[in-house]
Amino acid sequence: MKKLINDPAHYVDEMLDGLCAAHPSLTRDGPAGRVIRRTEGARAGKVGIVTGGGSGHLPLFTGYVGPGLVDACSIGNVFEGPTVDSCIAAIKAADGGRGVLRLYGNYGGDRMNFDMAGEFLEDDGLELSTVLGTDDIASAAPDERNRRRGVAGIVYAYKIAGARADEGASLAEVTAAAAKAVERTRTIGCALSSCQIPGAAEPSFRIAPGEMEMGIGIHGEPGIWRDTLKPADAVVDEMVDRLLAERPEGSGRRVSVLVNSLGATPLEELFILYRRLAARLDKAGLTVVQPLVGPYVTSMEMAGVSLSLCFLDEELERLLAAPASCPFWKVG
């Protein structure tokens, strides 16, 4: 698999250098430069929001650092969690004096290192809370929702928590908003081809020409089934059916949707999918609010798509519409 890189060992650092050079609102910080924070620094008196995770998913995670979103991010190597030292530095960078929410995906390495970072920071008197993204319905049964992976739907939690923090809410209130966003978001993905980690001799997995895999994870974790590639409408129909089957209790008629490219799938195909998705949701009596179509959470050059539904209430809809700005997403 061809890649435009210099040396696999420098892949992440050179990417971060370029990201910050192109977007002066972002600054590299922390041990080995593996923290991205807002250049202007944490806003005093605001609850901080910190995230983190492996590289290879841009715009996730580093791309969502900005006003109305997250304040700092610790970055690991490709598909690896950030180190504990980076987590500590990112939490400190996000601290504006009113506590910090740790908001990241439910993966072992991320969890362990953010937990350890919290243990190290306990003595500093910093108030911390945690919300894990667990939106991937393919990764565990509904009665084990807390074991699910966090995938593209976490961008809703970033947006909603970021808006609540900008309103001046307390750490408990920001945490509750993030938790509600996670609780009301459902995602499923499918892949048409694999990706290859820089330096690896082989792709992460293989899908034969003419095949697809439903329910795959953003690191190529195996999905629910693998079969012949289906037409776009049939793919959307199955994904929507699976998502609506998990509609949160008490959810209303308004929903935001994210049609996300996993990296190699072009916008044209995303809009073909969105066309069918919008029709299906309309038929189900749902009104789409603020649709998102594009590469929001990728898996390097993996071809495929994920669909996320965020079932809104009045508070979530207000927070989703609040102004926000980062290199890859601007609202208001």
Partner 1 sequence: MGLTVTHIAAGVSLAHARMTTLEQELNMADSRLGDGDTGGMLRRVLDLMAEQRMDGIDDVGVSLGILAKAAAAATGSSLGTLLATGLLTMSKRTKGRAEVPWSELAPLLEQARDAVMARGGAKLGDKTVVDALDAVSSALAGAGDQAAIRSRAVAACDEALVRFRNEPCRMGRARMYAEKSIGMDDPGMLAFARLTAGICQRDRDVGS
SS3 state at 181 = helix
Ramachandran bin of 208, using left for φ above 0, alpha for ψ from -120 to 50, beta for the remaining angles: beta
SS3 state at 189 = strand
Which residue ranges make up the site for partner 1 (CB under 8 A)? 31-32, 54, 74, 76-87, 107-110, 112-113, 115-116, 139-140, 149, 197, 199-205, 217, 219-222
Q: How far apart are CA 41 and CA 113, in angstroms?
A: 23
End-to-end CA distance of the chain: 40
Q: Which of 10, 23, 57, 219 is catalytic?
A: 219
Residue carrying structure tokens 């072009």: 266
User: H or E segment at 212?
Assistant: strand 211-214
CB of 84: closest distance to partner 1 in angstroms? 6
CB < 8 Å & 24+ apart, contacts of 202-211: 203/1
CB of 225: closest distance to partner 1 in angstroms? 12
Note whether 316 and 310 are within 8 A (CB): yes
CB of 296: closest distance to partner 1 in angstroms? 20
241 closest CA partner among 137, 157, 114, 118: 137
Nearer to partner 1 by Cβ, of 30 and 68: the residue is 30
CB of 197: closest distance to partner 1 in angstroms? 5
CB of 277: closest distance to partner 1 in angstroms? 25
Which of 25-60 are b and which e, b meaning 16 or more Cβ less than 10 Å from the residue's Cβ? ebbbbbeebbbbbbeeebbeebbbbbbbbbbbbbbb
Cα distances (Å, whole numbers) of residue 16 to 2, 83, 159, 239: 20, 16, 22, 34
Nearer to partner 1 by Cβ, of 223 and 327: the residue is 223
219 is catalytic: yes
Nearer to partner 1 by Cβ, of 200 and 208: the residue is 200
Nearer to partner 1 by Cβ, of 121 and 316: the residue is 121
Nearer to partner 1 by Cβ, of 32 and 284: the residue is 32
**Radius of gyration over every alpha carbon of the chain, rounded to an integer in angstroms:** 19
Nearer to partner 1 by Cβ, of 68 and 82: the residue is 82
CB of 5: closest distance to partner 1 in angstroms? 14
Give the active site residues.
Answer: 219
